[in-house]
Structure 1
Amino acid sequence: MIGHDLGGRYEILTRIGGGGMALVYKAHDVLLNRNVAVKVLRQQFVHDEEFIRRFRREAQSAAALSHPNVVSIYDVGQEDDTHYIVMEYVEGHNLNEIIQERAPLQADEAVRIAVQIADALDHAHQNHIIHRDIKPHNILIGKNGRVKVTDFGIARAVTSSTITQTGSVIGSVHYFSPEHAKGVNTGEKSDLYSLGIVLYQMLTAKLPFLGESPISVALKHLQEDFEEPRIVNPHIPQSVENVILKAMRKNMHERYASAHEMQLDLDSCLRPDRLNEPKITFTAVNDMEETRVMPAIRGEVRPEAASERAEPVATTHAAAERDDLGAKPEPKGWKKPLTVVGVTLVVLALIIWGFLWLIDKLDVPEVEVPFVVEKPLDEARRMIEDAGLKVEDPVIREHSKEIPLDHVISQTKANLRVKQGSLIELTVSDGPELEVLKDYVGKPLQTAIDELGALGITEQNKQIIIERVFSEETPDTILQQTPNEGEEFNPESVEISFMVSKGRETVEMPNLIGNSLSEARDLVKAFELVLEDADILYEPSYLHQKDYVISQDPFEPKDKVTKGSKISVRVSSGPPEDAKEHHFNIVISPAEAGKTSEIRIVYSDARGEDVEWGKRQITSTQTFPVTVVLAPDTEASVTVYRDKQFIDRKSITYEELAQGTNTSTLTFPGDDVQPTGEPVQGEVDESDEQTGEEEQQQQ
């Protein structure tokens, strides 16, 4: 069924459950673009016309229910031999799973669930629909906490022939009401009895009646008392126990009059004034009939009876012989009748003997059919043959999530007495329905997640394991998968591993600005990036020396960059053509002759304001060359400090530089000689000027 478009509208995604009569699938309604649940009738019932007719009628009746605590029925249909019901899909868990996981539940949670179930039953009963199979498996709890009751009306569709074929009563025997177990018509109060058992199980984590077979459990519903809830779980308030005791009375007249009455009692049972109310009591009345064993009636003839019926004939014949001893000889005509009588008696005796022999052969003894559900097939076959019965071959095989591989799912004539040598039909599990894994290598990870999610396989339940690695492939592309393509897997237990690309490895972008072009090339190569000659652009710059990097693109320093990425840089070609340079030769002496002074020089020009040229320690008069760069219509200046004291500042404009020399000398004697403040024009030794420029470059 997986992948089938049922009715041309419902795309079957995955199997989510099943019972004795139907299988339930999650499907997508392509017309309304929503998920739905589709219940499909099992194949063994598709040829029972009465069952199908009632199935449809009851499903349509349930579809008339509109209540927030009832699973809505959207559609009923047939495709060839497939009969199905489309229902609301509830995202969550059924109550049985919650009980198995964390029962006993807190009283307030159990009561809250029971109130919603009672509300749903009240709505159904008002619409003359009786559920007849209230159990935790049929109660769904959505992710928002909303309780939804499902499977309304389906149990009513069972015919007498179905019961005979399956050898069981439809419904769950652990939740039967006594009248249900007796086989009489069940009414609204049977649902309340079942709800009482569900509440009992939520609060105690156990069922009130257990047995080795369904019949033994049904008899306990009829004849035995259950262990009271507060004995099992003392934390249950008395008021809540009273609700359970009243709902589970064997005499239906002592139960709640309606689901609404039970709902009102549940609504108020946790009020502080009711928690410790007196225990409820009932008048002891046994309304259940005694269990009687009726003797079997058989039409067999006993040999003693036959001999008694033959005795008068034999006695008469003997008397006649005695009379003949003393009587006169009769004529010879009497011998022939006596011969006829004798032969007749012999024939009658043979007929009676043959009849008794035939009855003995036809009277096959009856034996008890062993219950072999959930047992391994070999063990089940041995048990059936040891009982004098036969397994009908071949056995029926079906997929099952609940029953392990090669274990019996169901049997015919369970818990009955049948003639020795009778055939027993077994339905055996093929294990969960297996899926075939597709090839996801080279596909986006999200594609695999979406398709596997439709089968119930998700990262949340740790069935999908993802390992991300660097690669040349696009990020989120699947590189490897385990299991491999074409392997079969069980969606319930499989673990699928994907190795996924996270793209090429990244590095932190280095800062190239301010480095020489050769240094920048070395950094780019070390970080496995690419800088081609075509991506090196030259432009004039006042701020950067020739062949030094001005800017980088498209990545800023410290950006995460994929290895192998191409970058471009802008490199200084030196000052613009209209720029002019001026060289200040600063001649300065220590403040006091023979002592050390600290000299600090700062300049401002087209490259920036208050640029530090550097500091020097001097003990004698020294000359320091300082080169400034001027743009048109600007000025440059140098400022000199000695021992942190301002000495002097000298400026020169672009126009002055154009009219005069490109070199000037500033002289600063010691404190005993006052500076004139006027520049001293003169030539500077070429080696001194070169030394000053090198020092300036180092700064």
Structure 2
Amino acid sequence: MPGRVLDGRYRLVRHIADGGMASVWEAVDQRLDREVAVKILRRGLADDEAFASRFQREARSAARLNDPHVVAVFDQGVDDGDRFLVMELVPGRTLREVIHGEAPLTARAAIDLVVPLADALGVAHRAGIVHRDVKPENVIIREDGRVKVADFGLARAVTAQTVTATDGTILGTVSYLSPEQVERGIADARSDVYAAGLVLYELLTGEKAVEGESPIHVAYQHVHGAVGRPSDRVPSVPEALDEVVRWATSRDAADRPADGAALAERLRGIRRELPLDELDARPRAGDRAVTAPTVALSRDQVPGGRRAIATPVQPHRATGATGVTTAPRRPWRWLIPLLALVLLVGGGAAWWFGAGPGAPATVPAVVGVPVDEARSRLDAAHLDAVVEEAFDETVPRGTVIKAAPGEGASLHRTDDVTVYVSRGPERYPVPQVVGQPGAAAQQAVKDAHLSLGRLTEAYDEKVPAGSVVSASPSPGSPLKPLAAVDLVVSKGRQPLPVPALAGKTTDDARAALTAVGLTYAEAPQREYSTTVPDGAVIRQDPATGTRFKGDTVTVTVSKGPELVAVPSVTGSSKADARRVLEAAGFTVKVSSPLGEVFGLVSQQRPGGGGKAPKGSTVTIVVV
């Protein structure tokens, strides 16, 4: 087996252990490169179709549990006829090994081990999962001291086989069955609490609370007996823990803690309340009973009898040098116990197949009733309800659509009846895709069991190009399967053409920019212009091209032409007059209607002493 690869992924490395139901291997997940534990079920279990279906369902449920005190379930599958379960690999030792090597424990040590066990059960109970097979072998103490609970994915799937098998492993399991599991084949969170109470008893005393020569004998004691006080075997056990064990192991489930969380809370309270000398008192060697009390049963105490009074047989008293008093040997002394055992097994078998889990049961009518009512009816019929949800356009949510097997079918007690419960009309909400990249949004629509409708593009000032601007119908709207969802994908910010503003008044320029979504701004200094009138735009930045909404366009505004003093040149020679006027920034025009006899300026327009726009023309008349 080492080197075998299961499902093309899990390579077996080392055999860890064998149990009544499976063998456990250390393996490597070659896909994720991590160490895991692989539990390979016995072929007899794996070949049972009903078991295989239940196993798959329970493994999926267990995989949803996420708690530091629960051994994680990663995967399950079948390889060449071998059904396997892939779990977290937890190096450490089981609580059974701790009990064998160290029990009885101090009150603090026992509480420290059972609180995380109860916490893990509480997490499962809140998720609607019942372990059904709580025992020291399923509690692992990691090398760093963390307590982990295993086999949530396997417990319910093998309940029937656990009860009916007869080897030593199964007997150990029967030791932790609750009365209702034995008597009616049903279990709930309080059944797990019962088993946890027995584990606490065992940690405090080093002995099982319920023992017997056969599974039927042990089962009988669960139903008709009562769990004793741990202090009867180890006197140093505090009274508060006696009370917790009594509470957790009450024969009537209604008298127990409601779930694992309630048990954990009470144990934490005791840990806070007990004085240190009681919490940490180490049981003395003499505290533990020399031999475990043996239960003697009369004929009317066998399964099906009317009375059940457990009478402890006291250990022999130590006397003399030998330390033990012995009775005379009699050849017939084994006859009575042998006869009692035959009656016990025979009566137990009759009870098992007549009123116990092996008895016949008929599926009641559950179609059309609320799921809680269906559970109650199946419970009354001693059958287990396995709820599967399904959509239905007409049956109200939470109401049973159908059952398999159907009404009137003959089964055995504790068998499963799959109850299909309506989830109401099949509707899927439009996913929240606004702002997501287009490809991711389209995949999200498909993953939501919807289909992609029209895909259009639009500019958007906030959503980046390529991402979704909007969906229609809007996100959150409930739709039928494969209904179309239209998406609008952003083209990014819309480019805006910059309008030409030169020569426009400031008011007109501002209005033109506002109309296209741009922002108007003026340069801090206005400039003179001989071509652009005062108050009009000389130039702009940017002059052309495109900008985005809100971007700024800066304009330079004209102050009109610059006015300068006109020099007086009358009486000056033509040459002097031209030089002076051009120096003042004017253009000179000469007029000589009578000819230039003297070459002197007789008059000028405009006249000297006034002001005229710089660069304008001054006309001089030369005679």
What TM-score results when the alignment is normalised by the length of structure 2? 0.43
**Larger CA Rg, structure 1 vs 2:** 1
What TM-score results when the alignment is normalised by the length of structure 1? 0.39
